[in-house]
Amino acid sequence: GENVEQHPSTLSVQEGDSAVIKCTYSDSASNYFPWYKQELGKRPQLIIDIRSNVGEKKDQRIAVTLNKTAKHFSLHITETQPEDSAVYFCAAGPSGGSYIPTFGRGTSLIVHP
Amino acid sequence: EAGVVQSPRYKIIEKKQPVAFWCNPISGHNTLYWYRQNLGQGPELLIRYENEEAVDDSQLPKDRFSAERLKGVDSTLKIQPAELGDSAVYLCASSAYSFGTGAYEQYFGPGTRLTVT
């Protein structure tokens, strides 16, 4: 089955700095890579995703890159704000016919004002 | 559009007692998932339904856990009897195909935080 590794487990930055969270996956059949943001006591919310036929996707201050050859994908947050503080999860899985994502262990992002 | 609904939000029970969680997925989402999330970890799949059929339950501890999705809409997850190690957040999610992304987008409910004492 799929195995997703996520690093770092904790990331502390100053407001305005950039933050990068990295994930690796093991199953070459995975072709859909979503990222979720989970604030304390709340549900995981989909913030951005990428498919394997795309190398990079950007949505305002958030971008995701994918290196399918190396089985790496990363979340980039620019101009971080205190409200970006949360736990971020990456996931990987096949998206055709059925969707069973495997999640990383999460990164706790702390943005200091 | 209403999101995934779960109840109760919190539950405290003593070990060996039964407990049940309820989930109502987003309307039209045929796929429903139950996850368990331990503190500081990502969600781990317990069971996945396609309509009313459980198609992936390999991670469900069947000696004490059971689930059903009658009529292919609402679902319940039951634990009987509960053990101390079952304390966790139980998340329900549903998914549907997005023509925008060309993939199945998954949406989570708020979860039920279970504490077994």
pLDDT, one tens digit for every residue, chain A (113 residues) = 889 999 999 999 999 999 999 999 999 989 889 999 999 888 999 999 998 877 899 999 999 999 999 999 999 999 999 999 999 999 998 876 677 889 999 999 999 99
CA distance B89 to A44: 12
Nearest C-alpha neighbor of B36 from the set B3, B70, B83: B83
Is there a contact between A98 and B31 if contact means CB atoms under 8 Å apart? Answer: yes
Q: For residues B90 and B36, is the Cβ–Cβ distance under 8 A?
A: yes
Query: Helix or strand or coil: residue B95?
Result: strand
Assess B55–A contact: CB distance below 8 Å, yes or no: yes
State pLDDT tens for residues B36-58.
999 888 999 999 999 999 988 88
B20: pLDDT strictly greater than 90: yes
Q: Which residues of B touch A106 (CB under 8 A)?
A: 40-42
CA A38 – CA A88 distance, rounded (Å): 6
Whole-number pLDDT of residue A97: 63
Q: Measured between CB atoms, does A32 come within 8 Å of chain B?
A: yes
Residue with tokens 């969707």: A99
Q: Are A112 and A22 in contact (CB under 8 A)?
A: no
**Contact assessment for residue B107 and residue B93, using Cβ atoms and an 8 Å cutoff:** yes
